[in-house]
Each structure stands twice: as structure tokens, then as C-alpha cells.
């Protein structure tokens, strides 16, 4: 249960970074919701890796490079799921606010992320 709670905290932190960066970029740049979200996802992923590595799962026992590559592969896959759902929601429901689409798509990709990180990235061999 501790890992799940800490994973939720990491996710909340990543969500705040994601939402904050997205809102900031939409407000101060001409990037638009699609490019701004890619940047926000990348920064959120880096944030959650550091938190998960330090507080949730501990180090995996692999080198930093291997762990980072594994985290990145799970993170990118989860981000593609997240971004695909986000894009589909915005395209299908044009009146939906980008932050609302982000909340829905992020919730949908959380289960995949937890399983991938706990079983593939931070699992000790």
C-alpha cells in the first residue's frame, strides 16, 4: 500500500507539473494545445522519475542509464496512450477545455504506468 500511495503522490506531482506547464504555455506562447502538451508531458515525466526513484520504488539495482531507458520506455508508452486520448477528446469534443481533456486522459493511463514502473522499471532482479 505504501508504494501505491507514494505512486499516487508522484502522479499528483507529475499532474501538477503537467497541468501547470500546459496552462503556462497556452497562456504565454502561441504553441497551441498539442505542442504545449508534448512539452508538459516531457517535464512531468522527468519529475515523476525522480520522485519514483527516490521515494516510491527505490533504485532498481540497474545502472542509471538502464533504469532511465526502462523508465523512458514505459513513460513514453504511457504518454502516447495519454496523448492519444487527449488528442482524440479535443478533436471529438471541440468545446472541451484542454485541461479537462488532460485530466481524463491522465486518469486513463495511470494503471498502465503503475504496472509498468513497478514490474519492469524498478523491479529488483
What integer best gives the mean pLDDT of the chain?
Answer: 88
**Selection from 77, 82, 80 nearest residue 115 by Cα:** 77
Q: In the chain, what is the straight-line distance between the N-terminal and C-terminal CA atoms, in Å?
A: 21
What residues make up the domain containing 13?
2-121
| Cα 109 to Cα 121: distance, rounded to the nearest angstrom | 16
| Cα 106 to Cα 110: distance, rounded to the nearest angstrom | 6
**Can you give the pLDDT at residue 25?**
97
Looking at residues 38-51, what average pLDDT do you find? 90
| Number of structural domains found in the chain | 1
| Cα 13 to Cα 82: distance, rounded to the nearest angstrom | 16
Is residue 60's pLDDT more than 80? no
Model's pTM, two decimal places?
Answer: 0.71
Is residue 88's pLDDT more than 90? yes
Residue with cell 504511457: 78
Amino acid at each position: 500500500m505504501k508504494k501505491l500511495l507514494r505512486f499516487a503522490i508522484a502522479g499528483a506531482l507529475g499532474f501538477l507539473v503537467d497541468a501547470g506547464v500546459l496552462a503556462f504555455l497556452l497562456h504565454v506562447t502561441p504553441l497551441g494545445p498539442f505542442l504545449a502538451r508534448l512539452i508538459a508531458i516531457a517535464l512531468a515525466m522527468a519529475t515523476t522519475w525522480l520522485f519514483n526513484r527516490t521515494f516510491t520504488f527505490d533504485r532498481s539495482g540497474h545502472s542509471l542509464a538502464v533504469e532511465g531507458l526502462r523508465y523512458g520506455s514505459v513513460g513514453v508508452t504511457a504518454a502516447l496512450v495519454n496523448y492519444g486520448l487527449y488528442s482524440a477528446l479535443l478533436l471529438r469534443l471541440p468545446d472541451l477545455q484542454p485541461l479537462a481533456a488532460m485530466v481524463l486522459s491522465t486518469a486513463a493511463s495511470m494503471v498502465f504506468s503503475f504496472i509498468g514502473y513497478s514490474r519492469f522499471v524498478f523491479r529488483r532482479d
